[in-house]
Amino acid sequence: MGFFSRFLIPNPSPVIYSSMVAIGVTVLLIIFGLTHFKKWFYLWSGWLTTVDHKRIGIMYLISALLMLFRGGVDAVMMRAQLAVPDNKLLDSQHYNEIFSTHGVVMILFMAMPYIMALMNFVVPLQIGARDVAFPRLNAISFWLFFMGAMLFNISFVIGGSPDAGWSSYFPLAGNEFSPHVGTNYYMIGIQIAGIGTLMTGINFLTTILKMRAPGMTLMKMPMFTWSALVTSIIIIFAFPVLTVALIMGTMDRLFATKFFTMTDGGMDMLWANLFWVWGHPEVYILILPAFGLFSEIIPTFSRRNLYGYRSMVASMVFISIYSFFVWTHHFFTMGQAAYVNSIFSITTMVIAIPTGIKIFNWLFTMWKGRIRFTVPMLYSIGFIPLFTIGGVTGVMLAMSAADYQYHNTMFLVAHFHNVIIPGVVFAVLGAGTYYWPKMFGFMLNERIGKWAFWFLTIGFCLAFFPMYITGLDGQARRIYTYSESSGFGPLNMISFIGAALMAISFVLIVYTIYYSIRHAPRDVVGDDPWDARSLEWATHNPVPEYNFAIIPQVNSRETFWDAKYKGHELFKGDYEKIHMPNNSGGPFIMSCIFFVFGFALVFSIWFLAIIGLIGIFVCMAHRSFEIDHGHYISVEEIKATEAKFGGVNKWK
């Protein structure tokens, strides 16, 4: 019993017990369903072993939606707790756990995979490639992310959730103040997912640099591909910092090392610095692809080419470099010299300039355009004013002297939600709708989608704008309740109503998907439902396994538009046999072992950790000795598939 008592929850509540039951029932239902409908083999051969970038993208998308649900439930619980003064809905410990997991889940396990989903699905199509450079590595990336996310998520039913905030500052996150295993989950879950992300960065940088279709020079790449390129570079330089910080944090907790301790020469501020040296670029890892997605959507629905292509690229490159020189603005109040704060104030404010250039470029793209108010376009149009407000409050926060007032208040919470939600969440929801026919071959219902957009936007404004006011009035973040005399009550109630509207919009989004699966017509879409401009729309919907039967010839930034309206010949030559990579169970199996290894480390079960580590190395050794030359798709097969779609598009 002594062995098993470590798995108990330190602060149980009825909510957690009911979640345990719900998780158990769901798992049983899934197992039953798979067995009943005889889908085990399909699941294994079609999805778990796949190395196809499109299927991996879809799996990222499903994971992201699941995590959006989890993080959203956390958010609604927090707003419910704060809706009225002196509320007893959650106790302080439970509240600490919820805001910690909300942050981690939303940033790392919702926003990241959503971006990864779109990068995986879209980038190879946009550059006219048949897959990424390292398809097997891509599968490993996904499964490591997935297992890291799952490891983090089981914390609330086995052993207890992390409760030291998403930034997990030491010494609070050390053993002394966070004695239970929650923070171990944080350190190890994020580590596993982070390795996957690093591999994705390497994979996409190689893919974009080496696998573009003939004629596509760097300055002819679609803007989303540019953003994926820049993001990959940021990932490659930022994530190793997180890797080291997490290793040091893990060792402090498991092996009593003295990196971040208050005694024996440890330095707690080292964690804060390392965390934000990664953490700030991470923000741009999320927002730059979002900018790229808006740069695809806005020209399509304005029927104009993107304004200021070169300045768009230049500002992204500038942001990517600058993102590494602003990290101290996350802790202006934590004791650096005034001149250090001044330098970081200035670098932070300077970042507003390239971002502003991008905002104006989108506005000029829409200027005199024939705008169609589809769901993706609504998200893009909503993004511009709301994101600008978030940017302006960001410049306010950048002033280090004034930051002593804003720091750690609801003002800050309002600010970063104001850039992340209209920036990243609007982008992925809009692009999710935009690329849906590309992924699945049918459209999402526009009417329900518009309802969801309005609920989300109004809910967002109601939820976060009041926080600017309560924050300036001094309501601190991460405090589980407040007194009636503070006067924060009414504004927090408005925030709760806003959160509820956002929850409704999530339900509507799920309902759109359900409704469209049931009722959307499958055959009237055509391959180009939006009258789009870039290469991914030149192939069929849904995309065949090999993406393009014939590799396209690129002549300009908007090759597909030229092919449709200016007589450019996209597909020259005849079918040839196509080389494709083989599926493999290796990535999934190795990631499962990673999960076991991580779980063993969380609970310091050393024999299991050693077995897990050996297992991981055995998988790597097996991969080294494996001979895998992939396979060919014959010309007959290509002809048959293309005939099913009505032949290669000529677009004339």
Q: Which residues bind another protein (CB under 8 A)?
A: 133-134, 198, 201-203, 205-206, 209-211, 236-241, 243-245, 247-248, 251, 255-259, 261, 263-267, 270, 274, 277, 579, 617, 621, 624-625, 627, 629
The maximal CA–CA distance of the chain, rounded, in angstroms, is 77
- How near is the Cβ of 169 to another protein at its closest, in Å? 16
- How near is the Cβ of 32 to another protein at its closest, in Å? 42
Q: Strand pairing partners for 71?
A: none
- How near is the Cβ of 631 to another protein at its closest, in Å? 12
Q: Which is nearer to another protein, 106 or 274 (CB)?
A: 274
Q: How far apart are CA 149 and CA 166, in angstroms?
A: 14
- How near is the Cβ of 207 to another protein at its closest, in Å? 8
Alpha helix segments (H runs only) across 11-83: 14-36, 40-42, 53-82
- How near is the Cβ of 309 to another protein at its closest, in Å? 26
Q: Residue 172: which residues within 8 A CB-CB, separation 6 or more?
A: 164, 165, 178
Q: Which residue matches tokens 């020189």?
A: 325
Q: How far apart are CA 348 and CA 228, in angstroms?
A: 23
Q: Which is nearer to another protein, 84 or 202 (CB)?
A: 202
Q: Quick one: 616 exposed, middle or buried, by C-beta within 10 A (0-12, 13-18, 19+)?
A: middle
- How near is the Cβ of 612 to another protein at its closest, in Å? 16
Q: For residue 310, give the H/E element and its range.
A: helix 309-322
Q: Which of 386, 253, 292, 275 is nearest to 327 (CA)?
A: 275
Q: Which is nearer to another protein, 173 or 298 (CB)?
A: 173
Q: Which is nearer to another protein, 343 or 510 (CB)?
A: 343
- How near is the Cβ of 263 to another protein at its closest, in Å? 7
DSSP state of 631: E
Q: Which residue matches tokens 């919470």?
A: 413
Helix, strand or coil, per DSSP, at residue 476: strand
**Can you read off the two tokens belonging to residue 493?**
């109630």
Q: Which is nearer to another protein, 129 or 638 (CB)?
A: 129
Q: Which of 416, 417, 615, 547 is nearest to 53 (CA)?
A: 547
Q: Which is nearer to another protein, 577 or 652 (CB)?
A: 577
Q: How far apart are CA 203 and CA 51, in angstroms?
A: 13
- How near is the Cβ of 238 to another protein at its closest, in Å? 8
Q: Which is nearer to another protein, 607 or 625 (CB)?
A: 625
Spacing of C-alpha 585 from chain mean position:
25
Q: Which is nearer to another protein, 339 or 625 (CB)?
A: 625
Count of Cβ atoms closer than 10 Å to residue 635 Cβ: 14
